[in-house]
Amino acid sequence: MPYFLSILITLACIIHIMKTGQERYWVLIVIIAPMLGPIAYFVVVILPSLMDSRRGHKINKNIKGLVNPNADIKTAENEVRTAPTFMNQKYLADAYFAAHRYQDALTLYEKIQVGLYANDPELLLQIAKCYFFLDQPQVTIQTLDELRATNPDYDSSEGHLFYAKSLAAQGNTQRAIEEFDALVVYYRGYEAKVSYVEALVQLNELDKAKERALALRDEVKLIPSHVRDLNSECLKRLKKIISDHHW
């Protein structure tokens, strides 16, 4: 690409970024990478805006997370300092959770678990998930039992998933398998199915794990590409399990 044309394209991208109010990190990207930067900007920002592409917006969000992974946390911390309301503190705890800062998230979730929110089901679910990721499956189960006892009409497939995963983490083979068998019947997407395979490996039920993993691999080959994209994270885990065990 001629040098002057590269400069013109870069300038055009910068003008578009400023006029349309895009994140300022794009300016840095198109300047540092004068050829690849503008191409990435067109694919991720301009093209999705023309086509309303969900995938493009997701890529844009991922790039933002790579450039400034603490942006949401800093914004939320400022909001809490200004107005420490329940919603602002919940937003900050959610940001900590998304950043895998589970202890920070748990501390804040439990701080706001008072008064009207003492038995809030969404709050209890997040607390249970924090305990799971902090390697406390028994407390996870206890928290989810509390959630069901105080909110009998609240149904959560995600809560059911972490209940089953916690049973597996405890080595409770029979109950874990029973819960996963019930869960995969109705759980939307592939997270529960892949988690079931992971649980079977964890419980040393390798024959069952292999059977389910290979059947799932064949099933995934037949699903539309956009469904694979939506489940890409857990399907990568499935692929790794199959590869690690040479199935």
- As given in the structure block, the two tokens for residue 19 are 């006029």
First to last CA, the chain: 47
In the chain, what are the domain boundaries? Answer: 3-67, 70-151, 155-247
pLDDT at 49: 62
Q: Which long-range CB contacts under 8 A does 67-76 form with residues at least 24 apart?
A: 67/23, 67/25, 67/28, 68/25, 69/99, 70/99, 72/98, 72/99, 73/99
Beta-carbon contacts of 167 under 8 Å, excluding residues fewer than 6 positions away, are: 137, 141, 175, 176, 179
Q: What pLDDT does residue 66 have?
A: 52
Number of other CB atoms surrounding residue 77 within 10 Å? 15
In the chain, % helix, strand, coil (3-state, to 5) comes to 80, 0, 20
Q: What pLDDT does 44 receive?
A: 80
Contact present, 213 and 239 (Cβ < 8 Å):
no
Per-residue pLDDT of the chain (247 residues; tens, 9 = 90+): 566 677 788 888 888 888 777 777 888 888 888 778 888 888 887 766 655 545 555 555 555 555 555 778 888 899 999 999 999 999 999 999 999 999 999 999 999 999 999 999 999 999 999 999 999 999 999 999 999 999 999 999 999 999 999 999 999 999 999 999 999 999 989 999 999 999 999 999 999 999 999 999 999 999 888 888 889 999 999 999 999 999 9
In CATH, what number does 70-151 get?
Answer: 1.25.40.10
Q: How far apart are CA 187 and CA 193, in angstroms?
A: 8
Within 8 A by CB and 6+ apart from 199, the residues are 164, 165, 168, 176, 177, 180
Distance of alpha carbon 108 from alpha carbon 105, whole angstroms: 5
Instruction: Please answer whether residues 197 and 209 qualify as being in contact, where contact means their C-beta atoms are separated by less than 8 angstroms.
Output: yes
Under a CB-based contact definition with an 8 Å cutoff, are residues 93 and 112 in contact? yes
Helix axis angle, 54-67 relative to 25-32, nearest 10°? Answer: 90
Specify whether the CB–CB gap between 126 and 105 falls below 8 A.
yes
Do residues 121 and 156 lie in contact, with contact meaning Cβ atoms separated by under 8 Å?
Answer: yes
**Separation CA 89–CA 20 (nearest Å):** 31
Chain centre to alpha carbon of residue 128: 16
Say how far apart CA 18 and CA 200 lie, in whole Å.
52
Does the domain formed by 155-247 have CATH 1.25.40?
A: yes
Q: Do domains 70-151 and 155-247 have the same CATH topology?
A: yes
